[in-house]
Amino acid sequence: MTYDLIIGDYAYSSWSLRGWLLFEAFGIPRRTAQVHFGDDGILDQLAEYKPARTVPTMRTPEGAIVSDSLAMAEELASRHPDAGLWPTTPLARATARALTAEMHASFSALRSKCPMSLRQAYDCSNPDDDVYEDLARIEELWAHARSVCSPDGPWLCGDYSIADVFFAPVAARIAGFSLPVSDAAQAYVQAHLNHLPFRRWRAMGMVHGATLDRYAQSHEVLPGPGPAPKPAAATDRTDAENDHCPYSGNAVTDFLEMDGRVFGFCNAFCRDKTVADPEAWPKFMAIVKS
Protein backbone atom coordinates (compact mmCIF):
# COMPACT_ATOMS: atom_id res chain seq x y z
CA MET A 1 0.00 0.00 0.00
CA THR A 2 1.82 3.08 -1.28
CA TYR A 3 0.54 6.66 -1.10
CA ASP A 4 1.37 9.78 -3.09
CA LEU A 5 2.55 12.67 -0.91
CA ILE A 6 2.80 16.18 -2.35
CA ILE A 7 4.84 18.68 -0.35
CA GLY A 8 6.23 22.19 -0.62
CA ASP A 9 9.76 23.53 -0.16
CA TYR A 10 11.77 21.73 2.50
CA ALA A 11 13.22 24.93 3.92
CA TYR A 12 9.95 26.82 4.38
CA SER A 13 6.85 24.63 4.28
CA SER A 14 6.04 23.87 7.91
CA TRP A 15 2.81 22.03 7.11
CA SER A 16 4.65 19.91 4.57
CA LEU A 17 7.13 18.96 7.29
CA ARG A 18 4.20 17.64 9.31
CA GLY A 19 2.85 15.65 6.38
CA TRP A 20 6.26 14.20 5.55
CA LEU A 21 6.96 13.20 9.16
CA LEU A 22 3.68 11.26 9.27
CA PHE A 23 5.20 8.94 6.68
CA GLU A 24 8.93 9.12 7.42
CA ALA A 25 8.82 8.77 11.19
CA PHE A 26 6.39 5.85 11.15
CA GLY A 27 7.75 3.90 8.20
CA ILE A 28 4.74 4.30 5.89
CA PRO A 29 5.71 3.99 2.20
CA ARG A 30 4.98 6.85 -0.16
CA ARG A 31 5.99 8.40 -3.47
CA THR A 32 6.89 12.06 -2.96
CA ALA A 33 6.23 14.92 -5.39
CA GLN A 34 7.02 18.56 -4.74
CA VAL A 35 5.63 21.97 -5.62
CA HIS A 36 7.94 24.96 -5.46
CA PHE A 37 7.03 28.13 -3.61
CA GLY A 38 9.35 30.22 -5.76
CA ASP A 39 7.38 29.39 -8.90
CA ASP A 40 4.14 30.97 -10.05
CA GLY A 41 1.06 28.84 -10.34
CA ILE A 42 0.93 26.65 -7.23
CA LEU A 43 -2.54 25.54 -8.30
CA ASP A 44 -1.17 24.61 -11.70
CA GLN A 45 1.47 22.48 -9.99
CA LEU A 46 -1.32 20.73 -8.07
CA ALA A 47 -3.51 20.20 -11.12
CA GLU A 48 -2.99 16.43 -11.05
CA TYR A 49 -4.33 16.32 -7.49
CA LYS A 50 -7.57 18.32 -7.74
CA PRO A 51 -9.40 19.48 -5.66
CA ALA A 52 -6.28 20.02 -3.53
CA ARG A 53 -5.24 23.66 -3.19
CA THR A 54 -2.56 23.34 -0.49
CA VAL A 55 0.34 21.18 0.61
CA PRO A 56 0.77 18.70 2.08
CA THR A 57 -1.68 16.64 0.06
CA MET A 58 -2.02 12.87 0.21
CA ARG A 59 -3.49 10.64 -2.46
CA THR A 60 -4.46 7.24 -1.08
CA PRO A 61 -3.92 4.02 -3.04
CA GLU A 62 -7.64 4.08 -3.89
CA GLY A 63 -7.42 7.65 -5.21
CA ALA A 64 -8.87 9.72 -2.32
CA ILE A 65 -7.39 13.23 -2.13
CA VAL A 66 -6.69 14.40 1.43
CA SER A 67 -5.16 17.88 1.71
CA ASP A 68 -5.54 18.69 5.41
CA SER A 69 -2.71 17.52 7.63
CA LEU A 70 -4.94 16.56 10.57
CA ALA A 71 -7.22 14.57 8.26
CA MET A 72 -4.10 12.91 6.85
CA ALA A 73 -2.94 12.01 10.33
CA GLU A 74 -6.27 10.48 11.36
CA GLU A 75 -6.62 8.56 8.10
CA LEU A 76 -3.12 7.12 8.32
CA ALA A 77 -3.66 6.19 11.96
CA SER A 78 -6.85 4.32 11.09
CA ARG A 79 -5.22 2.53 8.14
CA HIS A 80 -2.01 1.66 10.02
CA PRO A 81 -3.08 0.88 13.59
CA ASP A 82 0.18 -0.91 14.39
CA ALA A 83 2.44 1.96 13.28
CA GLY A 84 2.07 3.83 16.58
CA LEU A 85 0.86 7.17 15.25
CA TRP A 86 -1.34 7.75 18.30
CA PRO A 87 -0.46 6.59 21.83
CA THR A 88 -2.05 3.30 22.82
CA THR A 89 -3.37 4.16 26.29
CA PRO A 90 -6.66 6.11 26.43
CA LEU A 91 -5.26 8.87 28.66
CA ALA A 92 -2.21 9.52 26.50
CA ARG A 93 -4.17 9.20 23.25
CA ALA A 94 -6.84 11.68 24.35
CA THR A 95 -4.18 14.12 25.53
CA ALA A 96 -2.25 13.81 22.27
CA ARG A 97 -5.41 14.38 20.22
CA ALA A 98 -6.31 17.48 22.22
CA LEU A 99 -2.84 18.99 21.80
CA THR A 100 -2.77 18.20 18.10
CA ALA A 101 -6.16 19.79 17.48
CA GLU A 102 -5.16 22.99 19.27
CA MET A 103 -1.87 23.14 17.38
CA HIS A 104 -3.73 22.70 14.11
CA ALA A 105 -6.03 25.66 14.80
CA SER A 106 -4.02 28.13 16.90
CA PHE A 107 -0.87 30.21 17.40
CA SER A 108 -1.31 32.63 14.50
CA ALA A 109 1.15 35.18 15.95
CA LEU A 110 3.95 32.64 16.14
CA ARG A 111 3.16 31.40 12.65
CA SER A 112 3.08 34.83 11.02
CA LYS A 113 5.93 36.57 12.86
CA CYS A 114 8.31 33.62 13.07
CA PRO A 115 7.93 31.70 9.81
CA MET A 116 9.86 28.47 9.59
CA SER A 117 13.09 28.93 7.64
CA LEU A 118 15.57 26.12 8.07
CA ARG A 119 18.43 27.82 6.22
CA GLN A 120 18.93 30.71 8.61
CA ALA A 121 18.66 31.39 12.34
CA TYR A 122 17.86 34.72 13.97
CA ASP A 123 17.96 36.45 17.34
CA CYS A 124 14.37 37.21 18.30
CA SER A 125 14.86 36.72 22.03
CA ASN A 126 12.52 39.61 22.84
CA PRO A 127 9.48 38.92 20.63
CA ASP A 128 6.19 40.83 20.48
CA ASP A 129 3.65 40.33 23.24
CA ASP A 130 1.33 38.20 21.09
CA VAL A 131 4.20 35.82 20.33
CA TYR A 132 4.94 35.65 24.08
CA GLU A 133 1.32 34.72 24.64
CA ASP A 134 1.51 31.92 22.09
CA LEU A 135 4.72 30.63 23.65
CA ALA A 136 3.19 30.67 27.12
CA ARG A 137 0.22 28.63 25.92
CA ILE A 138 2.47 26.17 24.10
CA GLU A 139 4.57 25.67 27.22
CA GLU A 140 1.40 25.12 29.25
CA LEU A 141 0.27 22.42 26.83
CA TRP A 142 3.65 20.69 26.80
CA ALA A 143 3.93 20.74 30.59
CA HIS A 144 0.38 19.43 30.95
CA ALA A 145 1.03 16.55 28.56
CA ARG A 146 4.21 15.49 30.31
CA SER A 147 2.56 15.77 33.73
CA VAL A 148 -0.48 13.70 32.74
CA CYS A 149 1.30 11.10 30.59
CA SER A 150 4.58 10.80 32.56
CA PRO A 151 6.65 9.79 29.53
CA ASP A 152 9.99 8.04 30.05
CA GLY A 153 11.61 9.77 27.08
CA PRO A 154 11.63 13.28 25.59
CA TRP A 155 8.27 13.17 23.78
CA LEU A 156 5.00 14.62 25.01
CA CYS A 157 2.76 11.61 25.54
CA GLY A 158 5.08 8.61 25.61
CA ASP A 159 6.60 7.36 22.36
CA TYR A 160 6.89 9.77 19.43
CA SER A 161 3.35 10.38 18.13
CA ILE A 162 1.23 12.61 15.91
CA ALA A 163 1.28 15.24 18.67
CA ASP A 164 5.06 15.51 18.34
CA VAL A 165 4.78 15.60 14.55
CA PHE A 166 2.49 18.62 14.78
CA PHE A 167 4.78 20.47 17.17
CA ALA A 168 7.96 19.79 15.13
CA PRO A 169 7.68 23.08 13.16
CA VAL A 170 7.01 24.92 16.43
CA ALA A 171 10.28 23.54 17.73
CA ALA A 172 11.95 24.70 14.51
CA ARG A 173 10.55 28.20 15.02
CA ILE A 174 11.63 28.39 18.67
CA ALA A 175 15.13 27.23 17.79
CA GLY A 176 15.36 29.23 14.57
CA PHE A 177 14.39 32.51 16.23
CA SER A 178 16.06 31.92 19.64
CA LEU A 179 12.69 32.45 21.29
CA PRO A 180 12.67 32.53 25.10
CA VAL A 181 11.28 29.34 26.65
CA SER A 182 11.89 27.41 29.85
CA ASP A 183 14.60 24.80 30.23
CA ALA A 184 11.98 22.04 30.06
CA ALA A 185 10.57 23.41 26.82
CA GLN A 186 14.06 23.88 25.42
CA ALA A 187 14.82 20.22 26.13
CA TYR A 188 11.77 19.24 24.07
CA VAL A 189 12.90 21.54 21.25
CA GLN A 190 16.34 19.93 21.36
CA ALA A 191 14.77 16.48 21.09
CA HIS A 192 13.24 17.53 17.77
CA LEU A 193 16.53 18.98 16.52
CA ASN A 194 18.22 15.65 17.34
CA HIS A 195 15.44 13.48 15.87
CA LEU A 196 16.83 11.74 12.78
CA PRO A 197 13.73 12.21 10.57
CA PHE A 198 13.72 15.95 11.40
CA ARG A 199 17.45 16.13 10.67
CA ARG A 200 16.90 14.49 7.28
CA TRP A 201 14.21 17.03 6.37
CA ARG A 202 16.45 19.90 7.48
CA ALA A 203 19.40 18.53 5.52
CA MET A 204 17.29 18.49 2.37
CA GLY A 205 16.09 22.01 3.14
CA MET A 206 19.67 23.23 3.33
CA VAL A 207 20.52 22.12 -0.21
CA HIS A 208 17.32 21.90 -2.27
CA GLY A 209 15.34 24.76 -3.77
CA ALA A 210 15.79 28.49 -4.06
CA THR A 211 16.36 30.83 -1.12
CA LEU A 212 13.20 32.96 -1.04
CA ASP A 213 13.59 36.62 -0.12
CA ARG A 214 10.08 36.87 1.33
CA TYR A 215 11.19 34.71 4.27
CA ALA A 216 14.15 36.95 5.14
CA GLN A 217 14.09 38.64 8.56
CA SER A 218 15.55 41.87 9.92
CA HIS A 219 16.79 40.22 13.13
CA GLU A 220 20.45 39.55 13.82
CA VAL A 221 21.61 36.40 12.04
CA LEU A 222 22.88 33.57 14.23
CA PRO A 223 24.48 30.18 13.58
CA GLY A 224 21.91 27.50 12.81
CA PRO A 225 20.61 25.50 15.77
CA GLY A 226 20.83 21.76 16.21
CA PRO A 227 23.69 19.26 16.33
CA ALA A 228 26.80 20.17 14.40
CA PRO A 229 26.99 17.93 11.31
CA LYS A 230 29.95 15.66 10.76
CA PRO A 231 32.27 17.41 8.27
CA ALA A 232 31.91 16.21 4.66
CA ALA A 233 32.25 17.81 1.26
CA ALA A 234 31.57 17.16 -2.40
CA THR A 235 34.66 15.94 -4.20
CA ASP A 236 36.02 15.35 -7.71
CA ARG A 237 37.54 12.09 -6.52
CA THR A 238 35.79 9.05 -7.95
CA ASP A 239 37.48 6.25 -5.99
CA ALA A 240 34.32 5.51 -4.02
CA GLU A 241 34.08 2.60 -1.62
CA ASN A 242 30.56 1.83 -2.89
CA ASP A 243 29.33 1.18 -6.42
CA HIS A 244 25.63 1.85 -5.80
CA CYS A 245 23.76 4.76 -4.21
CA PRO A 246 22.70 3.99 -0.64
CA TYR A 247 19.23 5.40 -1.32
CA SER A 248 18.24 4.33 -4.83
CA GLY A 249 20.57 1.42 -5.48
CA ASN A 250 21.54 2.99 -8.82
CA ALA A 251 25.11 3.32 -10.09
CA VAL A 252 27.09 6.16 -8.53
CA THR A 253 27.90 9.36 -10.45
CA ASP A 254 28.46 12.01 -7.72
CA PHE A 255 30.84 11.79 -4.79
CA LEU A 256 31.56 13.10 -1.30
CA GLU A 257 34.64 12.88 0.86
CA MET A 258 34.49 12.34 4.62
CA ASP A 259 37.40 11.49 6.93
CA GLY A 260 39.55 10.94 3.86
CA ARG A 261 37.16 8.33 2.47
CA VAL A 262 35.05 8.69 -0.70
CA PHE A 263 31.44 7.58 -1.15
CA GLY A 264 29.25 7.70 -4.23
CA PHE A 265 25.63 8.65 -4.98
CA CYS A 266 23.36 8.45 -8.01
CA ASN A 267 22.83 12.23 -8.33
CA ALA A 268 23.93 15.54 -6.86
CA PHE A 269 20.93 15.86 -4.55
CA CYS A 270 21.58 12.49 -2.90
CA ARG A 271 25.18 13.60 -2.38
CA ASP A 272 24.38 17.12 -1.17
CA LYS A 273 21.71 16.13 1.35
CA THR A 274 24.23 13.71 2.81
CA VAL A 275 26.98 16.33 2.92
CA ALA A 276 24.58 18.59 4.85
CA ASP A 277 24.24 16.04 7.70
CA PRO A 278 25.86 12.65 7.07
CA GLU A 279 24.78 11.08 10.36
CA ALA A 280 21.10 11.82 9.68
CA TRP A 281 21.02 9.10 6.98
CA PRO A 282 21.10 5.53 8.37
CA LYS A 283 21.48 3.94 4.92
CA PHE A 284 24.59 6.01 4.27
CA MET A 285 26.03 5.44 7.74
CA ALA A 286 25.55 1.69 7.29
CA ILE A 287 27.94 1.87 4.33
CA VAL A 288 30.38 3.98 6.33
CA LYS A 289 30.39 1.50 9.21
CA SER A 290 30.68 -1.50 6.94
Domain boundaries in the chain? 3-79, 90-200, 233-289
Whether the pLDDT of residue 38 is over 80: the answer is: no
The pLDDT value given to residue 181: 98
The pLDDT value given to residue 203: 97
Domain 3-79 shares a fold with domain 90-200: no
Torsion angle of C-alpha atoms 233, 237, 238, 242, degrees rounded to 10: -40
The pLDDT value given to residue 40: 67
Average pLDDT rounded to a whole number, residues 46-73? 96
CATH topology of domain 3-79: Glutaredoxin (3.40.30)
217 burial level (CB within 10 Å; 0-12, 13-18, 19+): middle
* CB contact at 8 A, 192 and 132: no
CA distance 263 to 275: 11
Q: What is the mean pLDDT of the chain?
A: 96
Percentage above 70 pLDDT, the chain? 99
CA distance 278 to 48: 34
- What are the φ/ψ torsions at residue 154 (nearest 5 degrees)? -85, -10
**pTM for the complete prediction?**
0.95
Q: What is the pLDDT of residues 72-93, one digit of tens each?
A: 999 999 999 999 999 999 999 9
CA distance 100 to 229: 31
SS3 for the chain is: CCEEEEECCCCCCHHHHHHHHHHHCCCCCEEEEECCCCCCCHHHHCHHHCCCCCCCEEECCCCCEECCHHHHHHHHHHHCCCCCCCCCCHHHHHHHHHHHHHHHHCCHHHHHHCCCCCCCEEECCCCCHHHHHHHHHHHHHHHHHHHHHCCCCCCCCCCCCHHHHHHHHHHHHHHHCCCCCCHHHHHHHHHHHHCHHHHHHHHHHHHCCCCCHHHCCCCEEECCCCCCCCCCEEECCCCCCCCECCCCCCECCEEEEECCEEEEECCHHHHHHHHHCHHHCHHHHHHHHC
Percentage above 90 pLDDT, the chain? 89
Whether the pLDDT of residue 101 is over 90: the answer is: yes
CA distance 176 to 225: 7
The pLDDT value given to residue 272: 98
- Enter the CATH code of domain 90-200: 1.20.1050.10
Average pLDDT rounded to a whole number, residues 195-220? 91
The pLDDT value given to residue 140: 98
Average pLDDT rounded to a whole number, residues 257-264? 98
